[in-house]
Structure 1
């Protein structure tokens, strides 16, 4: 087994409303649905463990976001102001992307860390997790 820079990363988070989360991450940010499962609610998918799953990402990326909801035992998300998913744009944050994220359930917020206010835009998703669109590139972050 090799763990290296090409190892795929899954960022898993609870969600109270997968439809709202999908609107934000897919319609708002532009990620793709790479997998969806409706738990054991008749889907026949034993891999979901009874959870509703939404996996969103870019199909050729080495990471994806997994959003989980178990209707029988819901977990309430408890994000802090420092639970961030940062996307480095290497240029200005397009106003139309911020507007689209807000139209799809996001809320623009001020970060408690002045670095992110200077170098990007912070937007809360419907579950309270924060997305930072950074104007910097990863190489100069």
Structure 2
């Protein structure tokens, strides 16, 4: 069966510190822990943390291999964008900052116009966008 719009999406990233990124994504943004697997010393076994919102068609997998760590190498264009369809709540930004996030200017000024960009403890960027993905006046529509 070919992939279609109902296919679930997993975004996997290396992490230096799963505890720090859990605080950012779970305690800060408000995602749920969907699965956790600590490394048990078995060669080739990674520690991992999967986070997301229940019922969402995506989740984020954060991986750490204690025996052979992979250094995260985010670029200014590696973004995870959450479309809020309204103003970015100041208390949400403050909560994310209290849990290890750092507000930064976006590499692309479009995101400063339409949201707030925060860096996670591994250096990856989260954009909280005031726009929506769909129809309407402020919608982002793929070409």
Asked if these proteins are the same fold (TM beyond 0.5), I'd say yes
1:107 to 84, 102, 111: 102
Report which of the two has the higher share of helix.
1
Alignment deviations for residues 25-44 of structure 1 (CA, whole Å, 9 cap, x no partner): 000000000000013347xx
TM-score norm. by structure 2 comes to 0.92
1:59 positional shift: 1.7
Asked if 1:131 is matched to 2:91, the reply is no
Indicate which of 86, 94, 100 corresponds to 1:91: 86
TM-score by length of 1: 0.93
Q: In 1, are the aligned partners of 2:78 and 2:125 still within 8 Å (CA)?
A: yes
Give the match's secondary structure for 1:25.
helix
Q: How far 1:13 sits from its partner (Å)?
A: 0.2
Match 2:73 to one of 72, 78, 87: 78
Compute the displacement of 1:76 (Å).
Answer: 0.5
Residue 60 (structure 1) shift: 0.6
- Segments of 5+ residues of structure 1 without an aligned counterpart are 43-48
Q: Is the 8 A contact 2:111 2:129 kept in 1?
A: yes
Secondary structure at the counterpart of residue 85 of structure 1: strand
Alpha-carbon distance between aligned partners in 2 of 1:63 and 1:69, rounded to the nearest angstrom: 20
What is the number of equivalent residue pairs in this alignment?
136
CA contact (8 A) 2:28 2:96 kept: yes
Gaps of at least 5 residues in structure 2 are none
Contact 2:39 2:66 in 1 (8 A): no
Q: 2: CA distance between counterparts of 1:10 and 1:86? A: 14
